[in-house]
Amino acid sequence: MENRAVGRRFPFALLAILLAFVVLAGAVSVVNPLFESTDEIRHYRYVRHLVVYRQLPVQGAEAARSQSHHPPLYYALSALASGWIPSPHTPEIEQPLNPFWGYRMWEVSVDNKLQYRHDPAEEFPFRAGYLAAVVPRWVNVLLGAVAVYLTYRLGRQVWPDRLPLAWGAAALVAFTPQFLYLSGAMNNDVIAAAAGAAVLLVSVRIVQQGAGQKQLVALGLAYGLALLSKFHLLAMGGVIGLALALAAWRAPPFERPEPGARSRPLARWLRGLNVVLGLAVIVAGWWFLRNWRLYGDPTGMSKVNELWIGRPASEGWWALSQSLPYLWSSLWGRFGYGQIPLPQAIYGGLLFCCALALVGYLLPRRGPLPRAALLLLAVTVAGYVAVVFYYILIQPAGPMGRFLFPAFPAFAVLVVGGLDRWLRRPGWSAGIAAVGMAALALVALLGYLFPAVSAPPSLPAPPDDDGVLQFGDVAQLRAFEISSGSLRPGEPLYVTLVWSPLRRTAQPYVVYVHLIDDAGVLIAQRDTWPGLGRAPTTAWQPGQPFVDTYRVDLPETAYAPNRATVRVGLYEPALGRLPVTIAGEPAGDGMVVGMVTVEAPPGPWPNPLAANFGDEIQLVGYTVEPRALSAGGTFTLTLYWEPLRQPQHDYLVFAQVIDSEWNVWGSRDGRSPGWTEGQVVGDVRLITLRPDTPAGSYPIQIGLFHDETGRLPLLAADGHHLDERVLLGPIRVEEP
């Protein structure tokens, strides 16, 4: 009686989980700007191709066909749902790029995490045809809910006597931040999760209840739809084969059959396999025939590798160990194209909790286990890990946690079941999983995703001020502050500005922050759209001030001691800088907001540094004199080298004045003055600039070269490859 009462309560828990999932994923679909999810604009082009041309796209190098290798089920559903909406979008739709996207993309911050420029037409109520792009997101919200529900059903099938574990597993999937995020975006990974859960659910039923005709038909149809969802669901064929084998030889799976009865289980296994694969071929076989006709390959993956510059698996082993941290983090919550991470402590905590839960299956004397069902779940997870590992070996884009989504429901059921092996109280196990993951979802979405993709919060409208700083007719600067009056090379300076928009602009203007020393040399700079990419001037709300804090990194090779003014302004690349007025009076094309002193770091050499070239030779300091000169002039560069060991070759030192386009405007390449291990040597070079050198600031690139080995790599402290040069200076070339 108690179990029946408990069983009646849990559908309400499932309903609450599904409702919370739809609310959170729906919020993501509205708050997250269009096309910011991985490859979302490419998925949308696929949908628009179906809507506009009413036929499947063919793989090609053009942007509009870059996702055409995917099976069509999600795209067909999205086209049916959105095709009735008037929209000017073609399969060649482009979105304006944010040129400053990905600034320090490995960091947890809100700084330029948006890849594209977004205008008000994309926001609710979705003008200019953008509703047609939002509807496919809502299709994924529903498909995500289906995946959550199927996870619940899978949990009930595996743990029929521990029903709370079913909704605990459903909550784990529903509240995983990455699953929520992708459920609110356009992709075929969410339908892959639902399809994987469906195939696995029927497979577990067959193992536990037998391979009846109804179950075989359901499995064949589920597998056929899975093959039309995403290509790597082909791997579920191995799970199907194992499930039919276990059913044919009867559970428990490790019992030996009766003597003389081997042919009957084999015949049952083959008969079941024929039914399942036959139905799958009826449902999805046309897709593989089409690929064979178009690409000479039923999977179409040979064309994918050709277009996406794949590599042989034997050449990719180096990538496997490097990719594992990213694979794990992007399974749980790494948004956008990976540039919006969560703190590392969250990923580490999830790894510890999952490992601890799975260890629970090794605990002795904790009651019977549904071994056959757990075997299927474990094989599913292990199989997809192997698939993704192989993809990492052959493709640079391999380490994506979303590629594991078909096995994620199985993983969730395993984790919650393993947790219960420790606690032995299903309600507690499910509650911990549900509450813990719900808390993580709220923290991830509200604390990290939404701030990174939303416009900066507005401040109260300021009072009129006759002495206000104004940049053209575009904006006013109401307040400013710098974080420090002194810093050392390699340290950041934070500049805070309070902007008060006056109007929107047709093209986005750029904020610049320059550090200019007494010699007029630009020693550090930062350019970005306002709002750190989240508030371009094309989307400004006049009269709604906001605060920006810009990080400006002083290079580790910056000249010191030195002194610099901090200057800010607005410019448009084609139109130039906006003029500044103070109380209506002209004040140039920029505004000085502070001054900093650049302190010399400690060391025996001028401008000390530790530029390690190949663990052979280290550049430990340098001087430049003069640092400002005219085109055609000559300056003296002195380099201080310290061999870390006896060099293997007599290297050529190259010293070149370059611009951002790699043009060389002056150089002095030549042999070193001689190397002696442990002895610092001064290397003096006179560099004459070309007479036609344009005015501006130019870094000096320094490196070591040998005809046989090429350039010596510049190494970080931990030994990984940074570059093949180090940039010094810069110098300033004055106007004639």
pLDDT in tens, 83-141: 999 999 999 999 999 999 989 989 999 999 999 999 888 888 888 889 999 999 999 99
Q: Does residue 114 belong to any structural domain of this protein?
A: no
Q: What average pLDDT score do residues 350-359 get?
A: 97
- State both tokens at 130: 């953008």
Residue 439 and residue 306 share a domain: yes
Q: Is residue 555 part of a domain?
A: yes
pLDDT value for 21? 98
In this structure, are 428 and 406 located in the same domain?
yes
603: confidence class by pLDDT, cuts 50, 70, 90: confident
pLDDT in tens, 279-311: 999 999 999 999 999 998 898 887 877 777 777
DSSP summary character for residue 191: H
Q: How long a stretch of residues is the chain?
A: 736
> Within this chain, do residues 447 and 509 fall inside the same structural domain, yes or no?
no
- Give the list of residues 6+ apart from residue 26 with CB closer than 8 angstroms, or none: 138, 141, 184
Residue (of 557, 525, 603) closest to 714 by Cα position: 557
* Domains contained in the chain, number: 3
Domain holding 210, by residue range, is 2-100+138-451
Residue 253: predicted pLDDT: 42
- In 229-262, alpha helices (H): 236-248
Band of the pLDDT at 5, cuts 50, 70, 90? very low
Residue 478 pLDDT level (bands cut at 50, 70, 90) = very high
Least confident span in 17-21, 153-157, 189-193, 715-719: 715-719
Q: Indicate whether 568 and 622 sit together in one domain.
A: no
Let me know if residue 464 belongs to a domain. Answer: no
Identify whether residues 373 and 395 lie together within a single domain: yes
Return the pLDDT at 268: 86
Beta-sheet pairing, 585-586 with 591-598? unpaired
According to the model, what pLDDT value does residue 466 have?
62
In a domain, 110, yes or no: no
Assign residue 575 the CATH number of its domain.
2.70.50.60
Radius of gyration over every alpha carbon of the chain, rounded to an integer in angstroms:
31
- Tell me how far CA of residue 34 lies from CA of 43, 126, 134, 645, 671, in angstroms: 12, 11, 8, 54, 54
Q: Report if residue 126 sits inside a domain.
A: no
Which of the four pLDDT bands, split at 50, 70 and 90, describes residue 4? very low
Among 68-77, 397-406, 603-612, which range has the highest average pLDDT?
Answer: 68-77
Domain final position from 569, 598, 627: 598
Residue 647, exposed/middle/buried by CB under 10 A (0-12, 13-18, 19+)?
Answer: buried
State pLDDT tens for residues 232-291.
Answer: 999 999 999 999 999 988 644 444 445 544 458 888 899 999 999 999 999 999 999 999
Looking at residue 252, its pLDDT comes to: 43
How are beta strands 634-643 and 617-625 bridged, if at all?
Answer: antiparallel
- pLDDT tens for each residue of 368-425: 889 999 999 999 999 999 999 998 888 877 789 999 999 999 999 999 999 999 999 9
Confidence of residue 215 (pLDDT cuts 50, 70, 90): very high
Asked if residue 576 and residue 432 are part of one domain, the reply reads: no
Phi-psi region of 568 (alpha: psi -120 to 50; beta: other; left: phi over 0): beta
Q: What is the mean predicted confidence (pLDDT) over 714-732?
A: 87
The stretch 32-55 carries a mean pLDDT of 96
pLDDT one-digit tens code per residue, 441-467: 999 999 999 999 999 998 887 776 666
Beta strand 628-629 pairing with 522-528:
unpaired
Give pLDDT, residue 398.
73
Q: Is 567 domain-assigned?
A: yes
Mean pLDDT of the chain: 91
Residue 62 inside a domain? The answer is yes
Which residues, 6+ apart, have CB-to-CB distance to 54 below 8 Å?
A: none
List the CATH number of the domain containing 699.
2.60.40.770
Residues 619, 594, single domain; the answer is no
Query: Strands, E, within 554-633: which ranges?
Result: 562-572, 576-577, 580-582, 585-586, 591-598, 611-613, 617-625, 628-629
pLDDT > 70: what percent of the chain? 96
Final residue in a domain of this structure, among 402, 424, 451: 451
Q: What percent of the chain has pLDDT over 90?
A: 74
Query: How do residues 184-213 score in pLDDT, each as one tens digit?
Result: 999 999 999 999 999 999 999 999 998 889
The pLDDT of residue 534 is above 50: yes
Residues 179 and 279 in one domain: yes
Q: What is the mean pLDDT of residues 608-634?
A: 93
148 and 295, same structural domain? yes
Looking at the predicted structure, is the pLDDT value of residue 703 above 90? yes
Cross-strand bridge partners of residue 487 = 598
Residue 144 has pLDDT above 50, yes or no: yes
Residues 545 and 648 in one domain: no
Q: What average pLDDT does range 16-40 have in this prediction?
A: 96
DSSP code at position 137:
H
State phi, psi for 633 to the nearest 5 degrees.
Answer: -80, 170
What's the whole-number mean pLDDT along residues 672-701? 89
> Do residues 378 and 261 both lie within one domain?
yes
Domain boundary among 425, 451, 477: 451
Tell how far CA 404 is from the center of its chain: 16
Domain presence at residue 130: no
Measure the CA–CA gap between 24 and 32, rounded to whole angstroms: 12
Pair (559, 642) in one structural domain? no
Which range, of 19-33, 146-160, 310-324, 442-456, averages the lowest pLDDT? 310-324
Residues 6 or more apart in contact with residue 208 via CB below 8 angstroms: 157, 251, 370, 372, 373
